[in-house]
Amino acid sequence: MIFPCIDLMDGKVVQLVQGREKALEAEPAEAMLRRFARFPEIQVIDLDAAMGRGSNDDLVRMLAANAVTRVGGGVRSVERAQALIDQGARKVIVGTSAFTKAGVNQAFLEALRDAIGRDRLLIAVDSRAGRIVIRGWQESTAFAAEDVLGALESFCSGFLCTYVDKEGMMQGTDLDWFRRLRAATSLELTAAGGITTMEDVRALLAMNVHAALGMAIYTGRLPLSELVELC
């Protein structure tokens, strides 16, 4: 499966480099919906909510009402997750709050799973310099992604794993890292971060890993027509 990404900041569709520097502003969200209409599902991330500086709830609600969506950003409470489901999200992505400094935030994940159901929960496990990063990728933890996937499986239906080192840089991704992650879990696995060429996409799909695509689509590096055919 291929998921085109719509990342929201200040009411606009944007793309960032490594979660920090804004590289571009795209067409309005409505226009992006039309561009992505042939894909079965869209990934929506509210960057403002992820960074704790507001939200784009009206846009999230509009997108979720008009497409099948997996939505993340700022899911730090059961109420926030339930609100996204109520807005129409098919699945909710939780990242920062899935972890504590010591490891997995088991109590929170149990409450979240019980509230919305394991099938509707995805956990974001994002890595930079070999360690999981949280809080909008601004804070590093002490543990590696491949070491925690097994401990997280009982709470979710799959994982969104971003290779932050190359996110938005159009320099390719680390296929070996995704192979290690694929070997570490039997659950659904979605790759993001640095996916630049059709060869990257095909390699991920061949190892039974989905691809979430942002910068390479927005810059035209990956043609939508070829990606739709792969879907």
> Around Cβ 128, how many Cβ atoms within 10 Å?
18
Report d(CA 129, CA 192) in Å as an integer.
15
Angle at 93 between CA 16 and CA 202, to 5 degrees: 65
Give which of 63, 65, 69, 13 is closest to 41, Cα–Cα.
69
Residue 114 designated active-site? no
Catalytic (active site) residue 57: no
Distance CA 71, CA 69 (A): 6
Active-site hit among 7, 46, 48, 165: 7
Which run of H or of E encompasses 158? strand 158-162
Active-site entry in 46, 48, 126, 165 = 126
Helix (H) or strand (E) holding 59: helix 57-66
**Which residues does the annotation mark as catalytic?**
7, 126
